[in-house]
Structure 1
Amino acid sequence: MATDHAPPPSSPPAHETPLRVLLPQVLPALVVGVAAALLFLGISALSEEFQGVLWHDLPDALGIGGYSSLWIITMLTATGIAVGLVIWKVPGHAGPDPASEGLGGAPLAPGVVPGLLLASALGLAGGVSLGPENPIIASNIALAYWLGRKAAPALPGAVWVSLATAATIGALFGTPVAAALVISEALTGRPGPGSLWDRLFAPLVAAGAGAMTTQLLAEPSFDVGLPPLTDPGWGDLLAALVIASAAAVFGLAACYLFPYVHAAFQRLRHPMVMLPLGGLVLGLLGALGGPLTLFKGLEEVKELTSSIGGWSSGELAKFAAVKLLALLVAASCGFRGGRIFPAVFIGAAFGLLAQALIPEVHPAVAVSSAVLGVLLATTRQGWISLFTGAALAASPAMLALLCLASLPAWLIVTGRPQLELDKHGHALR
């Protein structure tokens, strides 16, 4: 893995105005933004096409129900075998153990990227309960760092890492806002030349280019069809506080179990044992929870929320519990993928469960608050959690409620184990 020993950028000379410093950053940021989005869209399109073959064309040709219990178990086990082969045989072994990797991080060697993307695409197509975010961000960082250092060796490597991270987050969410929040959180407390907005300038350009590329080519949307909250009251605030806190406790259950489940799979040592067994367990969970508990979860959230009131509390509790266990197993046994999108489904199911138990709770309040709580517990990314909850509600009135609901939920999760491990298998806090 390449390492960057370049010193941090010094303050520009007095004769150099911020304009002269920032303008040369625009073109590299635009290039990285568009390229990062295209890689994300390409992998997403490839996995969706393959998903259609595996879950529709192939079972139809065989005369088998595409989402029968037998097919779900078979497909998840086969996916485990395929990903295990990639990790075992492909150069780079699809990168490091994903249990100890968060969003971003140090650049990987470029030779790792093909195997990482292949393992991620197979998992997405095969129904594994992980999202594309971690592998795509890691791949874009590796490529931007490698090519950027060749094209402009005078620039610190950290510049290319921040551009690739911001660009990919912008592409994933279809807006630069999420990237701005994440990058500003990362810059908090770090000394550097210029104002915060000067340091955010190039990453925001990259995030905007990535978001616009995604918008133009794919028209992504986090609007899941929740009825808008137009006139929040004290009851809505109380519901948001309680549901976000309860969802955070629910999400923490996976965080506490994570080191033990991960250690159990690590004892198997070989990827051709760990991944097929993990796939079999995921298949059994999928057969129990049904097709809604498969895949990364965003489209399944839309299906959940399209039938508010049509699900029983027992069904919703099953969806939330099965998806939480599926995320835990998938992250523990070595599948390559991110945790944000499955956590959104878990939160949505948990919120609809709360709304089913207490019908007076507004659906937007229930779903957004629960997604906020689960994301805070599993990612410990405060801004991402707030942004995602607000984006799902698509209601400006929810933002104030979510800001307040995040406070007790954060008190619950801060200092507790995260859904991420250190290099020794111990939970990060």
Structure 2
Amino acid sequence: MAQDTVQQPTAAPARALLPLILPALVVGVGASLLFLGVSEAAEALQDVLWQNLPDALGVGRYSALWMIVMLTATGVAVGLVVWKAPGHAGPDPATTGLDAPVLPPAVLPGLLLATALMLAGGPSLGPENPIIAVNVGLAFWLGRRLLPRMPGGLWAALAEAATIGALFGTPVAAALVISEALAGRQLKGALWDNVFGPLVAAATGALTTTLVAHPSFDLHLPAFGRPGWGDLLAALAVASVAALLGMCAVRAFPYVHGGFARLRHPMLALPAGGLVLGLLGVLGGHLTLFKGLEEVGEIAADPEGWSAGEFATMTVVKLAALLVAASCGFRGGRIFPAVFVGAALGLCAHALVPGVHPAVGISAGVLGMLLAITRQGWVSLFTAAVLVGSPAILSLLCIASLPAWLLVTGRPQMQLREDGTPVR
């Protein structure tokens, strides 16, 4: 009986891949420097707004009054940019994900300004989505003019991979995102031929960020030794609870977004969103402001420093702040604040049940929350593992991801279509 044979994809010759190296290197360096430049500018402005200015006025840096004033003022400032800037600072962020559309060059300055103001002012969003969009737009526009024979889609792939590498300080995250994106496509050639150029760009972006800024995602948690049955049970429970909690925000997303959309103008929706975020900041404390990465390090440095109730409050408030910020029109991404939500939930589990190791609680909480918010399996697993810096915990996370994924797969995502209906 004749057996069916599986045709293997034909590998591209080296001469077909060599021309990709130089463009990938240039895009990688450029994407990283733009990300670092925006981050530095936003941090400098944040120091002025949250340290120098309240000190000069004799107001507490994180007093209730200052948080409400600053978040509302940030909504006004970003609203002005969205209203008046060419292209209105890009599309509605609720409709975009990591796979950014190619925006016209005239739109990019407004998007950068809106992102920097958001990062400095305190809304609970990260820089990833708008920075990817800006780098994709710049790479496409410059690449088509300097090397018109190169495929247009290549520039977008290089810029996206380079930015993800720069954001995480490692090309591994970009490689995982690329492989996940390619999984459902009919590839022309071998997998590594398809990821060769983007991987070069991601590695270059990550290396540039590492050399310039020396980032670290390791939270330096207490050492985690050999995992036991209790650790497995804790990881399964925390990841599943985090996924369910994240899905509550996902389910509410189109309704909250629709509520702000009824205001019909960015100078109404964004200040209103800023006011709500200020009130949430008063409720949850200053650790629930901003993108959340530095704040994760603060709560992880002292797992015993807050009660279970305080961790639970931070979890719910930060998730609500993420929901509001993503719904009212602030330009930003959802990964970094979701990391804080998952970490706070994991530390709440540790406070309730001291037998739950902080590393297990944080990593499992981040895993489940990111699965619900991003629907990116590999990125969720990678981010959760890299936060605790323990190879022994990876097997626990792989198992814990299975029930969490069953809870989120096939259900609405935290991304909307143009008509306001959720993407599935």
* Short-chain TM bin: over 0.9
Contact 1:228-1:394 within 8 A present in 2 as well: no
Q: CA–CA distance in 1 between the matches of 2:157 and 2:225? A: 37
State, as a whole percentage, how many aligned pairs show the same letter: 68
Partner of residue 354 from structure 2, selected from 335, 359, 362: 359
- Specify the alignment match of 2:132 in structure 1: 137
Q: CA–CA distance in 2 between the matches of 1:211 and 1:116? A: 23
1:132-211 aligned within 5 A? 132-211=127-206
State the shift of 1:106 in Å: 2.2
State the shift of 1:17 in Å: 5.8
Q: CA–CA distance in 2 between the matches of 1:140 and 1:202? A: 16
- Specify the alignment match of 1:115 in structure 2: 110
Instruction: State yes or no: 1:80 paired with 2:104.
Output: no
Gaps of 5+ in 2: 1-8
1:4-403 aligned within 5 A? 18-403=13-398
Q: CA–CA distance in 1 between the matches of 2:68 and 2:381? A: 35
> Scaled by the length of structure 1, what TM-score is found?
0.96
- 1:14-63 deviation per Cα after TM superposition (whole angstroms, max 9, x unaligned): 9x962101111100000000000000000000000000000000011111
- 1:243-291 deviation per Cα after TM superposition (whole angstroms, max 9, x unaligned): 1001000111100100100000000001000000000000000011111
State the shift of 1:151 in Å: 1.3
Letter in 1 for 2:385: A
Q: CA–CA distance in 2 between the matches of 1:122 and 1:84? A: 10
What is the DSSP-based 3-state SS (H/G/I as helix, E as strand, rest coil) of the residue aligned with 1:93?
helix
Contact 1:249-1:412 within 8 A present in 2 as well: yes
Q: How many residues align?
A: 416
Q: CA–CA distance in 1 between the matches of 2:79 and 2:42? A: 17
Letter in 1 for 2:396: L
Q: CA–CA distance in 1 between the matches of 2:18 and 2:422? A: 42
Letter in 1 for 2:282: A
Q: CA–CA distance in 1 between the matches of 2:30 and 2:389? A: 29
Letter in 2 for 1:23: L
State the shift of 1:401 in Å: 0.8
- Specify the alignment match of 2:6 in structure 1: none
Gaps of 5+ in 1: 1-11
State the shift of 1:104 in Å: 2.0
> Scaled by the length of structure 2, what TM-score is found?
0.97
Contact 2:100-2:129 within 8 A present in 1 as well: no
Pairwise CA RMSD: 1.2
State the shift of 1:193 in Å: 2.6
Q: CA–CA distance in 1 between the matches of 2:205 and 2:56? A: 38
1:399-414 aligned within 5 A? 399-414=394-409
